[in-house]
Amino acid sequence: MFRAAFPVLIGILVSVVLVPGCTYVRTDSSLPDGQQDPIVGVWISRESSRSTVYRFWENGTFDAGSHSVDIHPRYIYQYKGEWKVRVSHEYVTEGPHIGYGDVTALAIWRDLTLVYEPTSDTFSIPVYQNQVFSRLSHDPDAPLDSPHAIMG
């Protein structure tokens, strides 16, 4: 019995060692050299009562803020954290989100899905209907008041 089971056991052990070594699964989702992810840069959404700016860096971090368009602007929210590619042209952001109310601030941990539209070079956040972000610059560190920020 042992003599018959021994070759089968050896065969199983060899296949366990060899098969994973012969399989290639790409786990690196990075882009080719010299090509940055399309979400990297500075983005803005302008609405009648507020402006919202997102900055995405290549290292997977982001910073966002929204303020009123009053003569004396006030923050509506601040949001920063990490972003990841979920699927092609869809991203998820995650981090602390601080909303500023009339009386007090409220801090929560939040994740949002962003959908990038390559034909118009815009992105939207599906839970915020009708809010579209346009690119100001491919450089996430570009100042908002520079010509470079507008020209990209």
Reduced 3-state DSSP string for 106-144:
EEEEEEEEEEEECCCCEEECCCCCCCEEEEEECCCCCCC
Please list, residue by residue across 40-65, b when 16 or more beta carbons sit within 10 angstroms of its beta carbon and e when fewer do. Answer: bbbbbbeeeebbbbbbbbeeeebbbb
Q: Are 84 and 60 in contact (CB under 8 A)?
A: yes
Cα–Cα distance for residue pair 12/4, rounded to 1 Å: 13
> Residue 71 above 60 pLDDT?
yes
The 8-class DSSP code of residue 72 comes to S
* pLDDT level of residue 49 (50, 70, 90 thresholds): confident
Round to whole Å and give the CA distance between 11 and 29: 35
CB under 8 Å to 115, separation ≥6 — which residues? 89, 90, 91, 123, 124, 125, 126
Query: Scanning the structure block, which residue is given the tokens 């010509």?
Result: 147
Whether residue 60 is predicted with pLDDT greater than 50 in this model: the reply is yes
Task: Report the distance separating Cα 21 and Cα 26, nearest Å.
Answer: 13
Predicted confidence (pLDDT) at residue 86 exceeds the cutoff of 90: yes
Q: If you average pLDDT over residues 45-50, what whole number do you get?
A: 87
Query: Residues 88-112: pLDDT tens digits?
Result: 899 999 999 988 877 677 888 889 9
Fold of 41-151: Lipocalin (2.40.128)
Residue 12 has phi, psi (to 5 degrees) of: -65, -45
